[in-house]
Amino acid sequence: MKELEEKILEEGIVIGPNILKVDSFLNQQIDSELILKMGKEFAQYFKDKNIDKVLTVESSGIAPALATALELGVKCVFARKQQSLTTGENVYHSSVYSFTKQVTNELIVSKNFLKEDENVLMIDDFLANGQAAKGMVALIRQAGANPVGLGIVIEKSFSDGREIIKDMGIDLYSLARIAKLEDGEITFVKED
């Protein structure tokens, strides 16, 4: 997505060889117009998949997931990383290890919000090693629902997430694919 790549070049800050700071439009302040365009783009790509629900992980996945769900006319569910006061015991959960942050998070979603046979589209802000996506797939499978696709805002293509997702047979669509982050420079994957 050209406009997203331009935004990343304008406002993204490379922090070391692996981390891109994009909190001026995605991770803290949210560029609402750009997010709505992302939702349109994901909805267009996945429109033939009969999506019943969009699933993401709190917190930064929620904005693009909501924009996509709005466009598809379906509900948006986010997995929590901590039990809330009201979540109760009736939940699916999976464990996710983040190589980037070196922490393990529990993903928790109420059984009321993922149902058998639903076609679920997963959306997230970053794809690195695919662990958050694997955690979402585990939640969807526990519910007997179908993980039909994964939409990613920024894919770090130098990590192995894409391969992991493809090996699971899941249709992956990333709006921006970063080939490398080197000496403060951002290089995108050249699509043919």
Nearer to ligand G4P, 148 or 181 (CB): 181
Beta bridge partner(s), residue 173? 151
Of 65, 139, 161, 175, which one interacts with ligand G4P (CB under 6 A)?
161
Structure token pair of residue 1: 């997505």
Separation of alpha carbons 6 and 119, rounded Å: 32
Is residue 98 within the footprint of ligand G4P (CB under 6 A)?
Answer: yes
Peptide bond into 94 cis (omega under 30): no
> Given candidates 126, 147, 149, 153, which one binds ligand G4P under the rule CB under 6 A?
126
Region 37-76 residues binding ligand G4P, contact defined as CB under 6 A: 57, 59-61
Nearer to ligand G4P, 57 or 121 (CB): 57
Q: Is 19 an interacting residue with respect to ligand G4P (CB under 6 A)?
A: yes
Q: Please, are residues 158 and 180 in contact by the beta-carbon 8 Å criterion?
A: yes
Q: Closer CB to ligand G4P, residue 30 or residue 70?
A: 30
Site size for ligand G4P, by CB under 6 A? 23
Buried residues in 74-107 as b, exposed as e (16+ CB within 10 A): bebbbbbeeeeeeeeeebbbbebeeeeeeeebeb
Residues forming contacts to ligand G4P in the complex (CB under 6 A) are 19-22, 27, 57, 59-61, 98-101, 125-132, 156, 161
